[in-house]
Structure 1
């Protein structure tokens, strides 16, 4: 009966660990692998294949900010794509609800509606962001990226960058 008891004990501990891990990832902290060049040079994109995926950046995203939607201009956020909710994007938060923004490559000035925000990638030439799909609902935001945790030589806190002269709050 000894091996069965050990197997049962191992199974219980594994299931408990999985439940705790999923809860932490869903409510508090999660890791996100950065794909694509839209956030270059802030993040280095990773290929999708296994050995190559270790070369790109893995970022830590905190979810405490979702409690009361505590964000600031310049934060890097994690959000679901407005047109395909299975995709997760990492972009810079440029404008919050009520802010006025000059749309890049345009003379249009837009007021961000309540419950929405404006996001852009740091590499405008390779970014699919609010310039393509407009302001995104705050309900799609899944966290704020705070640190690069992989590769070890790039471990650092993610900087807030606020674009000059394009935003005003009234």
Structure 2
């Protein structure tokens, strides 16, 4: 029979392990809204994302990420990486329905929703600091009928 101190020690170890796994490993989140259709459903999908890619700087164009919202630090967004500013990069993107040059500096990422006609993204708020990226989405687990791996989109074009 375990003593109270052994039970408490087990709970502390379990709590610490769970915290470390969630903070530095994998985490689940609900992505709701029309901006990522058809990749994700507007009604909401539960996705699993990992925290390793943003920490090691291995994000690439086409990855779907979860990030703190640049316009509201109390909410999170789910978007696709269009450009990683690992070096100074200049390109042209649609902004306010006109083609205007945008610059993605080092340490920043250009995020866009897959549903460009119904997405508030970097075309509105500009490049996003890499520090706001929480993780890279790799699996949709809900709805159960649509469980699938979420990979890098091969259709990403930076022109």
Tell me, yes or no, if structure 1 residue 33 matches structure 2 residue 23. no
> TM-score, normalising length from structure 1?
0.80
For 1:149, the equivalent position in structure 2 comes to 141
Q: Is the 8 A contact 2:54 2:130 kept in 1?
A: no
After TM superposition, the score normalised by the length of structure 2 is: 0.85
Structure 1 stretches (4+) deviating beyond 6 angstroms? none
Q: Which of 71, 81, 86 lines up with 1:93 in the alignment?
A: 81
- Alignment of 1:110 onto 2:98: no
Contact 1:95 1:101 in 2 (8 A): no
5+ residue gaps, structure 2, are none
- Whether contact under 8 Å (1:121, 1:127) holds in the other structure is yes
**Number of equivalenced pairs:** 155
Structure 1: runs of 5+ lacking an equivalent: 47-55
2:60–2:81 contact (8 Å) kept in structure 1: yes
Aligned pairs for 1:104-143 within 5 A: 104=94, 105-143=97-135
> 1: CA distance between counterparts of 2:147 and 2:76?
22
* Aligned mate of 1:57, from 26, 45, 58: 45
Q: CA deviation at 1:75?
A: 0.4
Query: Which of residues 23, 45, 62 in structure 1 aligns to 2:42?
Result: 45
